[in-house]
Amino acid sequence: MVSLAREADRLVIVANRERIFALLILVATGLFFLDILTLPPPFSTRNAGPAFHPYLIVITIASCGAWLLYHSLGHQEEMILKYSLLVRLAAFAGLSMVYSIIIFIIGFFASSILYALAVILLFNYPTINLKSAVPISVVITLLVYTLFELVFNVRLPTVI
């Protein structure tokens, strides 16, 4: 179902992506189904109950997932994953999470300048031009500060 080949900056995966994704969706739906099995019955016989709508959802997703699975048989496709791209994508998600934590430790200004700078560098990779990126990060932070704290009176985190 899956074959892997490593090259310099890339991982070549030959796989049936449709089938893998359909399977993932079916597994996730199965887990959701197990969860709704634990829901209590409706209070009265005139009420559809809390599990009724989730059951409809499970039936719909499972039917379409099965249809996709059936129609994906035999479709092998080459997918090239660049390590550098994967690192950048993971870095953006990770940086955003770190930003939401360190904003309470080092305050809005320092954390926002660092976060904006990191995002700018991620977008312009592999070019690194700190001469323009640093001032722009400061401008972005000041703009956001003006918008939220000064215009809309939202209290932004300060240094502890």
Residues near another protein (CB under 8 A), total: 68
Show Cβ contacts of residue 35 under 8 Å, excluding neighbours closer than 6 positions. none
d(CA 77, CA 16): 6
How close are the terminal C-alpha atoms of the chain, in Å? Answer: 53
The site map against another protein for 77-106 (x = CB under 8 A) is --------x--xx--xx--xx-xxx-xx--
CA atoms within 13 A on the CB side of 25: 19
* Residue 16 binds to another protein (criterion: CB under 8 A): no
CA atoms within 13 A on the CB side of 74: 2
* Residue 76 binds to another protein (criterion: CB under 8 A): no
Contact residues for another protein (CB under 8 A)? 17-18, 21, 25, 32, 35-36, 39-40, 42-43, 45-50, 52-54, 57, 60-61, 64-65, 67-68, 71, 85, 88-89, 92-93, 96-97, 99-101, 103-104, 108, 112, 115-117, 119-125, 132-133, 136-137, 140-141, 143-144, 147-148, 151-154, 156-157
